[in-house]
Amino acid sequence: MGMAAVESHFHVLAVDDSSFDRKLIEKLLQKSSCQVTTVDSGYKALEFLGIESNDPNALSTSPQEVEVNLIITDYCMPGMTGYDLLKKVKESSAFKNIPVVIMSSENVPARISRCLEEGAEEFFLKPVRMADLNKLKPHMMKTKLNNQKLEEIDKPLNVAAAAAAVEPEIKDSAEVGSKILTLQSELEPKQVHLQVAQQEEQTLGNNNKRKSMEEGLSTDRSRPRFECITTAV
Amino acid sequence: MDAHVAQLQMQYRNYILSLYQQGFLDDQFTELKSLQDDGTPDFVAEVLSLFFDDCVKLVGNMARALDQTGTVDFSQVGANVHQLKGSSSSVGAKRVKGLCINFKELCEAKNYEGCVRCLQQVDIEYKTLKAKLQDMFNLEKQIVQAGGIVPQVDIN
């Protein structure tokens, strides 16, 4: 794979109202070589992702710079539960592909199936263990690969190639056009390329075209990182 | 190998084993210890410190909730028990967790006397555990000061 030279740190957003549990999950994730950002509520999680903001221009961080490969959240939280957060993420066009994992100290089958039906990848019973986190690597890898491919599209050299590759395949251009317009109203203009590529992925599910673009892969990923992200290798 | 260090290490091993055998700790504590590494040598101590702070806070909340002259808000007590059960479970504090399970049932049954008694037991239990773990850390310190390494104790 051409990706071998690129750092493979996953960035996980962990959400839990208990400071104790946050410390624990942070440690577990660091031990799994993940970068971790912890927040204490669903609201803060959405804010971090940039989903829920009344004024898009007032975002302290622009959405496309937050690369989150996984969200792991407690179920029982005051205000917005983990389930509510899951729903919000899955309803968001920009973030619905981020895998979401729910944690709970209570084994309630109805709760578990409800979360899984809503799109949660996994449901972990607390206390969460290393063995549980090991199940998450494939989920995170998937988002990471998708994001990296999108990043390649964003490079000027590859845009022409991307356009050439994308054009013939998009059959329902009207649908794509309207989707792009919707997205453009939410995001800054330079993200259009990313969204075009995302659309292509969704309609085709065919990753073979990406291989030619991977040749131009740069190892210098100057994607900004946040101060609150603790890194342990 | 220094005889003194060896003796301390054996003392440490026996002490840890007894904590497990007497039901103070369970395998979640083992899991926590396994997460500690050279990069974060104080991880277990920090987590335990957070846990005991939690205990003080939650026991305080429950005492206040049960101290109402008039109607007691059992759901309030229950919410605190739920939190304590969660953190004791996550830290491997087996006896505290067990008490919380009983406590929860007593709250649901709105058994005032039972709750008051249980809260007292929880209070005693977490303080006992805290003292025991302090002894454990002291032993670790002694071993290191004597020039030895703290042994990994295999519970199974």
Asked if the model's pLDDT at residue A217 lies above 70, the reply is no
- Please list, in sequence order, all residues whose beta carbon lies within 8 angstroms of the beta carbon of residue B138, skipping any fewer than 6 positions away: none
Residue listed under structure tokens 């389930």: A83
Cβ contacts of B28 on chain A, cutoff 8 Å: 127
Range of the domain at B50: 1-138
Q: What is the pLDDT of residue A183?
A: 43
Number of domains in chain B: 1
Q: What is the pLDDT of residue A80?
A: 95
Q: What is the pLDDT of residue A229?
A: 42
Residue A67: band (very low, low, confident or very high) from pLDDT cuts 50, 70, 90: confident
Asked if the model's pLDDT at residue A213 lies above 50, the reply is no
ipTM: 0.86
A172: buried, middle or exposed (CB in 10 Å: 19+, 13-18, 0-12)?
A: exposed
Q: What is the pLDDT of residue A157?
A: 54
Q: What is the pLDDT of residue A202?
A: 45
Coil, helix or strand for B93?
strand
With CB atoms and an 8 Å threshold, state whether A24 touches B47. Answer: yes
| B115 within a domain of the structure (yes/no) | yes
With CB atoms and an 8 Å threshold, state whether A127 touches B89. Answer: yes
Closest CA to A78 of B23, B128, B79, B73: B79
Q: What is the pLDDT of residue B123?
A: 98
Cβ contacts of A24 on chain B, cutoff 8 Å: 32, 47, 90
Say how far apart CA A126 and CA B35 lie, in whole Å.
16
Closest CA to B119 of B96, B137, B141, B151: B96
Judge contact between A64 and A194, C-beta under 8 A.
Answer: yes
Cβ contacts of B32 on chain A, cutoff 8 Å: 24
Q: Among A110-114, A128-132, A143-147, whose mean pLDDT is lowest?
A: A143-147
Q: What is the pLDDT of residue B124?
A: 98
**Can you tell me the mean pLDDT for A177-190?**
44
With CB atoms and an 8 Å threshold, state whether B87 touches A20. Answer: yes
pLDDT digits 0-9 by tens, A192-209: 444 444 444 444 444 444
On average, the pLDDT of chain A sits at 71
Q: Which of A23, A31, A105 sits opposite B50 (nearest CB)?
A: A23
DSSP structural state of residue B153 = P
Q: Which of B90, B91, B108 should be substituted to probe chain A, the one whose Cβ sees the most A Cβ atoms within 10 Å?
A: B90
**Can you tell me the mean pLDDT for A119-131?**
95
Say how far apart CA B109 and CA A164 lie, in whole Å.
69
The angle formed by the CA atoms of residues A10, B91 and B80, to the nearest 5 degrees, is: 105
Question: A-side interface with B, Cβ within 8 Å?
Answer: 18-21, 23-24, 27-28, 31, 76, 105, 126-127, 129-130, 232
Asked if the model's pLDDT at residue A128 lies above 80, the reply is yes
Q: Which of B25, B85, B87 should be substituted to probe chain A, the one whose Cβ sees the most A Cβ atoms within 10 Å?
A: B87
Say how far apart CA A75 and CA A97 lie, in whole Å.
20
| B65 within a domain of the structure (yes/no) | yes
Specify the CATH number for the domain of residue B13: 1.20.120.160
Q: What is the pLDDT of residue B61?
A: 96
% of chain B with per-residue pLDDT over 70 = 99
| B51 within a domain of the structure (yes/no) | yes
- Please list, in sequence order, all residues whose beta carbon lies within 8 angstroms of the beta carbon of residue A195, skipping any fewer than 6 positions away: A179, A180, A183, A184, A187
Asked if the model's pLDDT at residue B92 lies above 60, the reply is yes
With CB atoms and an 8 Å threshold, state whether A24 touches B90. Answer: yes
Cβ contacts of B82 on chain A, cutoff 8 Å: 76, 105
Q: Pseudo-torsion of CA B102, B103, B105, B111, nearest 10°?
A: 120
Q: Among A12-26, A137-151, A192-206, whose mean pLDDT is lowest?
A: A192-206
Say how far apart CA B142 and CA B5 lie, in whole Å.
9
